[in-house]
Amino acid sequence: MNKTPAIELRNITKTFGKVFANRDVSLEVFYGEILSLLGENGSGKTTLMNMIAGIYYPDEGQILVNGEEAVIRSPKDAFRYKIGMIHQHFKLVDVFTATENVILGLKEKGRYDIKKAREKVKAISEQYGFEIDPDKKIYEMSVSEKQTVEIIKVLYRGADILMLDEPTAVLTPQETEKLFKVLRKMKEAGKAIVIITHKLHEVLAISDRVSVLRKGAYIGTLETAATNESELTEMMVGKKISLNIDRTDPKDPEERLIVAHLSCMNREGLKVLKDVSFTAYSGEILGIAGIAGSGQRELLETIAGLQPITDGGIQYITPGTGIIENLRDKTPMEIRALGVRLSFVPEDRLGMGLVGNMDITENMMLRSYRRGRSVFLEKKAPKSLADQIIEQLEVVTPSRETAVRKLSGGNVQKVLVGREIAAAPTVLMAAYPVRGLDINSSYLIYNLLNEQKANGVAVIFVGEDLDVLVELCDRILVIGHGEVTGIVDGRTAKKEEIGLLMTKGGSKV
């Protein structure tokens, strides 16, 4: 191709603190083509696009627009270069109509004329085949309609280069098909389009070329027509890296938690879990792998009694006696009353797990405050537990009376995990327990999980790093679009295999 690229990135590097979000990335996008940007969670796709959209500024490297070096310091600058980005989280005012949202912030010449704007919105919709009512209020719209408004907003401002951040993540297959039709029309109209995704079949369906990022680094670009799923998966997940996490064999595994045909819906009435079945054994670590938002959170929350279940059952087998308890439709309190020792380390540490403004002792009491008999709080036991956790897990804190919000991410996580383990659980569920932690803290958490495993606890570990999952877990359950797409043995599984399973599922809705 000897055309001038719409956008050319040269050796872009961006760091957040000490973490490389993007390292030495170079790629090109041409007019009249759709480029897919493929990569796992945290591979730096969104960060890269945000630099083109003016939300971040690169630490090093150049961005060239139409062959000339461009300095893009704000979304406004980006618009001047006719670059528009459609973010994953829509930026729309709920009580405004579609048209009002489209013209928001524009300083058009002449009088404020909503009618003229509405006509223009209509014209754009017809040109590209959007189905949208310009007078409909945003809060009455479906997710797909909101996305349409975002796209029209960008087109209304005359963008020729469009970037879409995981546009299909929130859409049904039918809506996705519609979106793709629109994107193809825009491509025919000569626009340059970048679409961020981690769904392989979509990459193959829509794009002309695909660029792959892995852990912030640029891996390569392929012609879509000349590649296939397994090649892309390999580029995406990369070669196996050895982490040297200890893994002992499970000791006398017995069934502890049986989940059968579990389904649940989210608030919008969409099914987020479909017919999920698995068994967790004592003395093993069951990993859960999947693309973010595939239903991992809902799975743990339904087991913990925090989310209503529409279908299926959850059974707990009491160690020793073998008595079966039914956990379905029970609140966390009822579950505890049954004598089921379930510990849950939620993803949202300072939202669901701990109270940021309370100190370590008080956070310990969140689990034990019911035990006291007198009117006054019984602080002695929680205080010694707090001291014990601070000492054993090496929590770096000025004092026991420091609000946990003031601690670093790793130390917050230590406090939370420490508290949950102190409850001597028989089932321990941890969602992304090492997210945001440095390597040492991560290993500390792995060791804690292993310790629990050795004590005969059934550990369920939701992770995002495949390298960790295959080294830490005895078995790995892969979830895609709310369905179990496979359960593999952690000792023999290949990363590529898991990566491929992650993108499956959701075909039949």
Binding site for another protein (CB under 8 A): 75-76, 91-96, 100, 103-107, 112, 137, 139
Q: Which is nearer to another protein, 138 or 276 (CB)?
A: 138
CB 397, min distance to another protein, A: 25
Q: Which is nearer to another protein, 108 or 451 (CB)?
A: 108
Q: Which is nearer to another protein, 105 or 173 (CB)?
A: 105
CB 401, min distance to another protein, A: 24
CB 108, min distance to another protein, A: 8
Q: Hey, how many other C-beta atoms are within 10 angstroms of the C-beta on 59?
A: 14
**Would the CA dihedral through 383, 385, 388, 393 be positive or negative?**
negative
Q: Identity (one letter) of the amino acid at 477?
A: L
> Which residues does 121 contact at the CB level (< 8 Å), separation at least 6?
98, 99, 102, 132, 134, 152, 156
Q: Which is nearer to another protein, 105 or 129 (CB)?
A: 105
Question: Is residue 325 helix, strand or coil?
Answer: strand
Q: Which is nearer to another protein, 45 or 187 (CB)?
A: 45
Q: Which is nearer to another protein, 23 or 157 (CB)?
A: 157
Instruction: Please spell the DSSP secondary structure of 132-182, one letter per residue.
Output: --TT-BGGGS-HHHHHHHHHHHHHHTT-SEEEEESTTTT--HHHHHHHHHH
> Which residues does 226 contact at the CB level (< 8 Å), separation at least 6?
none
CB 93, min distance to another protein, A: 5
Q: How far is CA 59 from CA 62, 63, 70, 264, in A?
A: 10, 12, 14, 44
Q: Which is nearer to another protein, 149 or 469 (CB)?
A: 149
Tell me whether residue 391 is exposed, middle or buried, using C-beta atoms within 10 angstroms of its C-beta: 0 to 12, 13 to 18, 19 or more. exposed
Q: How far is CA 216 from CA 7, 42, 155, 173, 413, in A?
A: 19, 8, 29, 29, 25
Q: Which is nearer to another protein, 53 or 317 (CB)?
A: 53
- For the CA atoms of the chain, what is the radius of gyration? 25
Q: With b meaning 16 or more CB within 10 Å and e meaning fewer, what string describes 187-206?
A: beeebbbbbbbbbbebbbeb
CA distance 353 to 363: 9
